[in-house]
Structure 1
Amino acid sequence: MPSSLRILAVVGLSALLGACSLFKFPGVHRIEVQQGNIVTQEMVDQLKPGMTRRQVRFVLGTPLIEDTFNPNRWDYINRVRDPENEVTQKRFSVYFNGDILIATSGDWQPAGWPE
């Protein structure tokens, strides 16, 4: 009987320690978590109509999503979770006609881009 009591105590202690992540203890440092592509307005302002895919990839980096069903669109997504668990997400898409940049959409717009 004592060995089953020990097993029960170990299981109970494991469950108690696993539940500690549910509580937010005061004074515990939490970090900002950034996922996806880092896109800035300065990067977007470098885009010009007629750029090739290679030039766009050089300016913005590799897109987070290259849709196999829509190969003429690249999506750049940036998601940030701050220490208070507030999540902000920004999205930027570029559109191609073949190998040529023809349009953009999203949370940033290139300066001097034709309407």
Structure 2
Amino acid sequence: MDTSKTTPGSSNSREADWAAIEALDNHAKAIAKTTGCAKDAECRSAPVGNRGCGGPRYYIAYCAATTDSVTLFRKLDEVKAAENAFNTKYNVVSTCEFRMPPAVGIVSGVCAAR
């Protein structure tokens, strides 16, 4: 079964719905390449998910030179929409703090948060 096509929120199980979000999240991580950049300025970060009170769950670092950014952001939009639907369906709440994007750069040869 291709879980990247599963619609989160379409099952009757919280665990199955979250597994569908995790599958989308893992696909986004696979799209985000961390290798291939030679300078810190080529590294970027992107928000992932949608917490109950709003804002991303975390940020993912990637190399802009080797990552298909359009494909990555399309997948991240899917993750955000799926998590928003999950949060609504299950009345998820979270702490309300603003998470700033991390500083990113080359760390041990790959793009990573600093």
- Fold match by TM threshold 0.5: no
Please state which structure has a larger fraction of its residues in helix: 2
Tell me the TM-score normalised to structure 1 length: 0.28
Asked which structure has the greater RCO (Cα within 8 Å, sep 6+), the reply is 2
Task: Tell me which structure has the larger Cα radius of gyration.
Answer: 1
> Which of the two has greater strand per residue?
1
